[in-house]
Chain A
Amino acid sequence: MYWGGNPAECHPRHFTKYALMPKSKFLPRGRKDRTAVLVDIRPTKSAKAADIFLQVRPGKDFELITILRALIKDQKVSEEAVAETGITLEQCTDLIERMKKAKFGCVFFGMGLSMTRGKHMNSAALLTLAAEMNAFTKFVAMPMRGHGNVTGADVIMRWQTGYPFGITFNRGYPRYNPGEFSTVDVLVRGDADAAFIIGADPGATMPQPAIDHLARIPTIVLDPHVTHTSNLAKVHITTAPAGIAAPGTAYRMDEIPLPLKPALKSPYPTDEEVVRRIKQAIVKKPFWMPEGAQMTAAQV
């Protein structure tokens, strides 16, 4: 099942290499041995690849998933209430029947689900549905991440700080609160007095108040290209492109680490080298925490 994602156009290898086409020991006929469902607000190119396309009304994903959670537990939901989602009760019942009959169900969800009204709760709904489906058969769910190696950033932040994102270090140790410490919220509220941006272009994607704040404060950009953010930054440092001219590891969206083997040489330093040199310079300055200070641990 794909929910709120359009792999045919956004993750072109997903069907052929991972999820729909491959032949395997238990699915020798490949695509023919699988049932594919797409749930989205409009019939995208991915709809053609699906056996079943369910067109959910915009902003009704959370309701639809919650209905499915009730129905798998044999709870009653009125026909009219279901119809509000753009899907009929009959369609829901049929979908559940197929889900329960599957030997191994897999749900991939995209930003059409996770970045629309309801956001993290939409994702939570689908993950919960997949968890609860295990009372009947094997079911898993996984997000289809958008940007390059955003998973890698998550993974490393987690092992070093315990948290994937939305972290502050101002009390000398990691604290977490998405909404309070996530980049976009910090910038929109004007809570930061400097910004250091590596391999991202918030100047192109973030809301205007965030962009305005980036232009107000000293912003430093590390990027192989001159980006929208570079144009409003005080400093831009050109770096070697990762994977093309800089080695390292990228984490696939399923958290499998892949080695990056550079094919080219770049005249520019890698991001890592620039950060290391900045760090070396900072170490020479007086340590920011007062000598012997008791940084009382604060919850959250």
Chain B
Amino acid sequence: MNKLTLRLKEQPTVPLEAEVLSPDTFAELSNEEIRSKTVYHGKRQCRLDDFFDVDGERSDDVEIHGDLHRVRWIGREMSRGRITVHGSVGMHLGAYMKGGEIEVHGNASDWIGAEMRNGLIRVHGNGGGQIGAGYRGSLKGMRGGTIIVDGSAGLEVGMRMRRGMIVLGGPAKDFTGLQMKGGTIVLLAGAEIRTGAWMMRGTIISLKPIQMMPTFSYACRYTPDVLRVYSRRLKELGVSLPYAPQDGAYKLYSGDASVPGKGEILVWDALSA
């Protein structure tokens, strides 16, 4: 299928809510129909082509160019196809996503993949807070799929997530895995404080030492078999996760006792050469 290319031509002065930027919307539409789709510039209803040049039609392979840091809800609820962004994006990238792939060559903001069910989101720059989280009041965060952010992340990553995987290349801020109910968070560069606070279930893997909540207790030093599986899967995504016994092992902490929960935090403990 041919590519659909959008280029931001007019920088929004206030946030632009553009959930129409999704393969599901564009797959069956002509160029003219795509141009006339509604986006919300503050309270003003505008046409997509007030802000974007649109090249191509009827495609679920979407490429977007420009500084989109004010453009929110890209790929919301998308279930198929692909979005590639060359530039930074605003909040709620891929929120409620059901399938397909999003790749951002730039930074993204808060709520990446919030409450997503499936699909893959990859951000090569930094992410914001509440990645894969549940929106305020929701009982569950992401329920499936994978989010990889090469750079750093903000607060409450994976808050109340139920299933799926989040991988962070850079450091995360406080409350990573807050009230986690399942799924896996991989921290290649550690996190600030309160990691795994109020965890019920699920796994947080950190390759760097992290400050542990007082309500987590050290269980043992070992490498669970599942690490081998994760490692193989992550390798396909260009992330390497150590598991070989000659390199070291993981220190397992369990908690959070305040819930009381059965969450696990695994911290890589390398054998010194």
Contact = CB atoms under 8 A, between A and B. Distances in A.
Contacts of B175: 118, 121
A280 interface: no
Interface size classification for chain A: 35 or more
Interface string A148-173: 00000000000000000000011110
B61 interface: no
A65 to B, nearest CB: 8
B215 A77 contact: yes
Contacts, number: 90
B137 to A, nearest CB: 9
B224 interface: no
Contacts of A84: 214
Contact of A75 (B15, B70, B174, B215): B215
Interface string A265-300: 000000000000000000000001110010110111
B43 A70 contact: no
B197 to A, nearest CB: 7
Contact of B110 (A82, A121, A179): A179
A176 B138 CA distance: 13
A70 B260 contact: yes
Contact of B91 (A67, A70, A180, A288): A180
A66 B13 contact: no
Interface string A113-157: 000011001000000000000000000000000000000000000
A110 B70 CA distance: 35
B19 interface: yes
Contact of B14 (A67, A178, A180, A192): A192
Interface in A151-209: 169-172, 176-180, 191-193
B40 A300 contact: no
Nearest to A75: B257
B194 interface: yes
A66 B198 contact: yes
12 contacts: A63-B213, A66-B256, A70-B256, A76-B217, A121-B194, A178-B136, A179-B130, A193-B14, A293-B45, A298-B17, A298-B19, A300-B92
Given A62-B197, A70-B256, A299-B96, 11 more contacts: A62-B194, A63-B194, A69-B258, A70-B215, A70-B257, A84-B214, A121-B178, A178-B136, A191-B70, A293-B45, A298-B73
